[in-house]
Structure 1
């Protein structure tokens, strides 16, 4: 977590300054008021009365100005702290997604997906889609099919989190761009089959949308 600044720092400084200025002006005003009582001439007393009133008003005005400035600085500092905290929390949610791809539990799924990827590429371009359909339709290859679906589900979860702004896309993209494009393209035949089977075109839609987006950048 990033170091947190003291949210009351600026407020404390300004309040101290406000207090000092205000007290000084009040003391001067009080002194003039006392002097006013000792002067006999009316015109002098009226002048001092005016000066004391003016100083008291100035003290109140200065206090108000410094108080408003303190509130503004305090609000800006708090907003900066909140923004920094939100950015830190976003990064905290992002990093586990990078480590999850390399977890031991994912390794068998990735191995089966890689095997099918190489088998597909061994076919002619025109025969690759048909090969994938036939291979995954064979009950003997159900484990491979389920492994690929598990990986696609994870990548869809990743894409949804990016779309909702729950994780940092720029950080995820550096690690997952090639993976997302490879899996979404290689197993698009399976994605289409799942959509048709479930009657839902939105299945894996965030993943395929993210794939197209990252291809352009």
Structure 2
């Protein structure tokens, strides 16, 4: 989602262009100055003056264009930095103490589903009912992943970093909890956790 060119590379390329143009302009200006000094013909002098003025104006325009381009690239870099900072915040949040018990619950439910020979959905439902905090833990994890998915879908997170950390979490969590989500959708809202599901589908195609 975030196919943005490296601003430093673009800036270096622009600098080379401007420096090259400035060198050419300086060379031409030097030639015109020498020609102006050695000639005595008024008409030629006027033409040389016009040429020097045109070169100076062109150099000024090039400098202004580079300044505008640099400003745009700086804005892009700032936007990218904000995405990276937001992504790091969500990565740090996963390790916060309030999610410790919820992470354990997800692992236990995953083991229940993976070890079940048949009726995996029913065994998952039974396991959630048996553990007093299970539903609260599951909701906590799903709510976090839904927020992350919403920000991801809006392009507000840096996907390479986000995917590197959260891809296995999203894939495992949704594989385990999709039965629970389906039940909740029937009870509450058919659109419940749609963003997480979209993120799961996207990443499962290219984990």
Whether the TM-score (by the shorter chain) exceeds 0.5 is yes
- The residue that corresponds to 2:3 in the other structure is none
How far residue 166 of structure 1 moved from its aligned partner, in angstroms, is 0.6
- The residue that corresponds to 2:62 in the other structure is 69
Instruction: Pick from 111, 124, 130 the counterpart of residue 122 of structure 2.
Output: 130
In the superposition, the TM-score normalised over structure 2's length comes to 0.76
Matched pairs, number = 188
- The residue that corresponds to 2:78 in the other structure is 85
The 5-angstrom pairing of residues 1-217 of structure 1 reads: 21=29, 25=33, 28=36, 48-125=41-118, 127-136=119-128, 138=129, 141-198=131-188, 200-217=189-206
* Larger-gyration structure (1/2): 1
How far residue 86 of structure 1 moved from its aligned partner, in angstroms, is 2.2
How far residue 54 of structure 1 moved from its aligned partner, in angstroms, is 1.6
How far residue 154 of structure 1 moved from its aligned partner, in angstroms, is 0.5
Q: Which runs of 5+ in 2 are unaligned?
A: 1-6
Rounded to whole Å, the distance in 2 between the matches of 1:89 and 1:104 is 25
How far residue 82 of structure 1 moved from its aligned partner, in angstroms, is 2.4
**Deviation per residue, 1:21-45 (Å, 9 max, x gap):** 59x85xx58x98xx8xxxxxxxxxx
How far residue 130 of structure 1 moved from its aligned partner, in angstroms, is 1.4
How far residue 142 of structure 1 moved from its aligned partner, in angstroms, is 4.5
RMSD over aligned Cα atoms: 3.2
**Deviation per residue, 1:129-153 (Å, 9 max, x gap):** 01223444x4x64421111011011
Contact preservation (8 Å) 2:105, 2:134: yes
Rounded to whole Å, the distance in 1 between the matches of 2:175 and 2:42 is 87
Bigger relative contact order (CA 8 A; separation at least 6): 2
